[in-house]
Amino acid sequence: MKDYLVKAIAHNKQVRAYAAITTETIEEARRRHDLLGVASVVLGRSMTAGVILGAMLKGEEKLTIKMNGGGPIGTILVDANAKGEVRGYVSNPHAVPGLNQQGLLDIKAAVGTNGILSITKDIGLNHPFIGQVPIASGEIGEDFASYLLQSEQVPSSVGVGVLVNPDSTIQAAGGFIIQLMPNTEEETIRLIEERLQTIPSISSMIGEGITPEQILQQLLGEENVSILEKSPVQFQCECSRDRISNAILSLGSEEIQDIIYTDGQAEAQCHFCNESYYYNREDLETLLKVGI
């Protein structure tokens, strides 16, 4: 099944809901960055949340998530947009986690809870919109729920999950965000809370190969959900040789001459997708002479 996201409304438009399966997207991130277990879970959960937040944007709008809780994973950076494209990295893809009291990977300790989750939205205005909250849980999902409540004043339930195979590949990844509109009745809130407490965790749902539509039906009750839209999700980086060439040109001709004399070559790597761009002497001389 290709990755995709669905948007829905529920309970007579009192509730907005999103769900996505992101298995292939997170597997591509794992492969590109050589992520090991805990880093796959941390980046996978963050990218899945990013994809869903991206689906709340329009047209060319985009957002950047930055999280650093002081744990061994370091900084988590994710870019997402309204087209279902997402990319991201963590500073330490090989972070070695401890186990928590349940004998599971200790995600909270890997992320750390001493820092900030910040989301920068570029919605085409002169200044980007920046929202920040302290990292309270380190489990990612709850931190995004806290961001949505505190920074955007929308009560939300966020569930993101990543299952890793014994050989480190991604078995399944996905998540949901459910949001209450200002007019939501007490009775609806009670129904949703009750259901959220009794349904299986997002990790066990995705482990069974569930679709995004089924996630929302399980969460909210099939009879309450209307699916509005279905759209593809993928790992996509906007780096290119032209962009890297521009970055090299911005060093100035003196600096480039210096690289030609000392190293005779240059290699640049994109943080987001780990793609390498190589320039030999001739490439650099051409850049200097004619630009890109």
Q: How many residues in the chain? A: 292
Segment lying near Zn ion (by CB under 5 A), choices 43-51, 78-86, 228-236, 270-278: 270-278
No. of H helices and E strands in the chain?
10, 13
- Assess 272 for contact with Zn ion (CB under 5 A): yes
Q: Is 239 near Zn ion (CB under 5 A)?
A: yes
| Least distance (Å) between residue 141 CB and Zn ion | 27
Q: Do residues 281 and 264 touch, judged by C-beta distance below 8 A? A: yes
Minimum distance from residue 232 beta carbon to Zn ion (Å): 19
Contact between 244 and Zn ion per CB under 5 A = no
Residue 152 corresponds to which tokens in the numbers above? 């955007």
Q: Measured from the CB atom, is 53 or 273 closer to Zn ion?
A: 273
Say if residue 168 is exposed, middle or buried (CB neighbours under 10 Å; 0-12, 13-18, 19+): middle
Q: Interface with Zn ion includes 89 (CB under 5 A)?
A: no
Per rule CB under 5 A, count of chain residues that contact Zn ion: 6
At 267, which amino acid appears?
E
Taking the complex as a whole, how short is the minimal distance between the CB of residue 237 and Zn ion, in angstroms? 3
Span interacting with Zn ion, options 7-15, 23-31, 74-82, 273-281, rule CB under 5 A: 273-281
In the complex, the smallest distance separating the C-beta of residue 71 from Zn ion, rounded to whole angstroms, is 25
In the complex with Zn ion, the residue whose CB is nearer, 180 or 270, is 270
Structure tokens at 43: 């980046």
CB of 46 to Zn ion, least distance (A): 17
243 or 281: whose CB is closer to Zn ion?
243
- Residue from 237, 244, 256, 287 touching Zn ion (CB under 5 A): that is 237
Determine the Cα–Cα distance for residues 81 and 55; give it in Å rounded to an integer. 7
Angle between helices 37-55 and 23-33 (to 10 degrees): 130
Give the contacts of 244 (CB within 8 A, at least 6 positions apart): 268, 270, 277
Site string for Zn ion, 187-226 (x = CB under 5 A): ----------------------------------------
Smaller CB separation from Zn ion, 144 or 272: 272
- Please answer whether residues 44 and 29 qualify as being in contact, where contact means their C-beta atoms are separated by less than 8 angstroms: yes
Q: How far is the CB of 28 from Zn ion (least distance, A)?
A: 12
The SS3 assignment for 19 reads strand
Does 270 participate in binding Zn ion (rule CB under 5 A)? yes
List Cβ neighbours of 190 (8 Å cut-off, separation of 6 or more).
none
Q: By CB under 5 A, name the one of 273, 277, 279, 287 that touches Zn ion.
A: 273
49 binding Zn ion? (CB under 5 A): no
Side by side, which strands form the sheet with 116-122?
Answer: 129-134, 116-122, 62-68, 76-81, 85-90, 234-235
Give the footprint of Zn ion on this chain (CB under 5 A): 237, 239, 270, 272-273, 275
